[in-house]
Amino acid sequence: MQRIVSISFGEIALKGLNRSYFEKKLLNQIKRSIKGLGESKVYRDQGKIYVITDDENIERIVEKLKKVFGIVYISPGYRVEKDIEKMIEKAIESVKQTIAHKEVRTFKVQVKRADKKFPIKSMDVARKIGAAILREIKVLKVDVNNPDLLVKVDIRDYCYIYTDKIKGYGGLPVGTNGRALLLLSGGIDSPVAGFMIAKRGVSIDAVHFHSYPFTSERAEEKVKKLAGLLSEYCGNMKLYSVNILPIQREINEKCPEDEMTIISRRFMMRIAERIAEKEGIDALITGESLGQVASQTIKSLNVTNSVVKRPVFRPLIGMDKVEITEIAMDIGTYETSILPYEDCCTVFLPKHPVTRPKLEDIEKSEASLDVENLVEDAIRKMKIIEINFQENAE
């Protein structure tokens, strides 16, 4: 049977942006996300977007739409002709469906008549539909103040009927706000950081550093999986996979042991920025959170930050691990992030990493390294993996 999903997007989010540009991008993102899920049709009508689908696909479509940034609410429902008998019939059917899987004792019918040419006034439509529901489903009662179930009837070009409203993430459609390069480790934090920046409409690519053969191929698979999970929110992306082992070896040989982590972090930033420069990407993203580990003190952040010119977005900077973990669980990256494959940072891990590094000291240590050549060499040998969102559709 034909079903409909109504999509609301925040008016506030449109401020300062060109509205039709925003809507068009959102429409494209919606089409992209539900591609392959049956015969669906997507259209705009007076500030809302609708997807026509069927019983078989509606649940999967709603799941996909939850991952499209820019959407504030998703309401699965029915579309009918503007004929009061048909409206009543669908409203009853919709309520029956809902009470089959949800405990409902009371309800209220709420009617919005955007089409003033429709001859019956909102109050009267509500009364007629309400009475019919009471007649048909004897266990239900009306409660206008605090109903268990709200039956929404929206009269526009067609009449739309909903009994459910699901929250989206809001934000802005991906592709409306430039591009950034995510430093994606295998941990819990960086995928969340990427998610949060993508939510602001930013297109994302990712760079991962590994120490193969010290780190395994399974560690790489894990990062590909994480990138794939992220791509469900931010679309196709490139994953730049860089072997940082030769650099770590050099640092290990020529620099003080306790500076290992901070100096390799500086190399990661340099390499990321070099890739960004080549690809025309304007910002970097990391999953750093203030004080979480030695390399994330203010002093350390300053020392790593000072090798790059582009802004580095750190959306998790003020968040606790618990809050970050909650988001990771919610967006579906947590289970993959906790797989126990080793990170490149654990190779040559110093016993006591510096927590208050001084920039001059670090620069002095780095003077014994051929920084430029090491960076260029790592980039020359890097692998580029295309992460295609469609491949991850369950």
183 vs 375, beta carbon nearer ligand ATP: 183
Residue 187 interacts with Mg ion (CB under 5 A): yes or no: yes
Positions in 298-357 near ligand ATP (CB under 6 A): 343-345
Q: How far is the CB of 342 from Mg ion (least distance, A)?
A: 10
Paired tokens of 63:
């799941």
Stretch near Mg ion under the rule CB under 5 A, chosen from 37-45, 80-88, 186-194, 298-306: 186-194
Q: Is 189 in the site for ligand ATP (CB under 6 A)?
A: yes
Of residues 58 and 268, the one with the C-beta less far from ligand ATP: 268
The radius of gyration computed from the CA coordinates of the chain, to the nearest angstrom, equals 26
Size of the site for ligand ATP (CB under 6 A): 20
Stretches 69-77, 90-98, 133-141, 185-193: which one binds ligand ATP (CB under 6 A)? Answer: 185-193
Query: Nearer Cβ to Mg ion, position 129 or 312?
Result: 312
Tokens coding 41: 């049709």
- Contact region for Mg ion (CB under 5 A) — 3-11, 89-97, 130-138, 183-191? 183-191
Annotated binding-site residues for ATP read: 183-184, 208-209, 265, 287, 296
- Candidate list 94, 296, 333, 336; residue touching ligand ATP; CB under 6 A: 296
In the set 64, 79, 90, 208, which binds ligand ATP (CB under 6 A)?
A: 208
State the residues that interact with ligand ATP by CB under 6 A: 183-185, 187-190, 208-209, 268, 286-288, 292-293, 295-296, 343-345
State the residues that interact with Mg ion by CB under 5 A: 185, 187
